[in-house]
Amino acid sequence: MAGTIAFQGELGAYSHQACAQARPDFTPVPCQTFEDVVEMTRSGEVDLGMLAVENSTYGRVADVHSLLPRAGLHIVDEAFVRVHVNLLGIRGTRVEDVREAHGHVVILPQCASYLKAHGIRGVVSSDNARAAREAAEANDPSRAALASEMAATIYGLDVLAAHIEDNQNNTTRFLVMSRTPDHARRAEKMITTFTFRVRNIPAALYKALGGFATNGVNMTKLESYMVGGSFTATEFYSDIEGHPDDAPVARALEELRFFTTELNLLGVYPADRTVR
């Protein structure tokens, strides 16, 4: 029996698109913030949560990286969504009628060239799907939205110009979060995600990561970020290829533990075959 999956944004958001792609049988539940997604999933109000973690053009979603280690949730899947930015307007509108386009602060730079070429002013909105809904409600041909084809369908708007993003490989990575881990699955390529803090000794990070090199474990991501606003407390977020039960991964993680004060396993899950 299919369940429910929470996402940040309104119906028609790219996170909604990710839910439809990764869990097509689940009922999507919109939330205002990432924190709401985490809390609804943790409390059991929904079965799963969908969180955006990084975009190929914009970079990482900092809010989510700070949430993940203390969310009490587990990553059970990843989904890469091709982000096509479309100029949406009310029915019968022409591109030359549009004076301003509303979209999230992350979306506006991704189609800056198109907007400049057509003399359209970008206006920040809290959510792309909300921008589409509000454009429909305003019923003003001079006001457009930057959003997905899904949003156009939901809110009854025309796609005035399709795929106007500057970077044609624009992709967002999402993580599917659950209250319970699922480490039993096996796939041709597995991803293990974790966070850690190194001990306060010389060359601690170098020594901590040495086990991955000597055991031939491929580390596909390593990012650092401050903890609690302190310049002296740094946490690292990492993705590696493999399963913790694989002998090389197990040896590398054991060596990592020796040089860390904290190691938090966030998830073990199959790699999304559509991208990796």
174 is catalytic: yes
Within its chain, how far is the Cα of 235 from the centroid? Answer: 19
From 26, 80, 93, 172, active-site residue: 172
Between CA 26 and CA 40 the distance in angstroms is 15
172 is catalytic: yes
How many CA within 13 A on the CB side of residue 174? 28
Neighbours of 12 (CB within 10 A): 28
Between CA 210 and CA 223 the distance in angstroms is 16
Tell the burial category of 225 from Cβ atoms under 10 Å away from its Cβ (0-12, 13-18, 19+): middle
SS3 label, residue 96: helix
231: which 2 tokens? Answer: 């310049």
Interacting residues of 182 by C-beta distance below 8 A, sequence separation 6+? 74, 76, 268, 269
From 34, 80, 174, 259, active-site residue: 174
**Catalytic (active-site) positions:** 172, 174
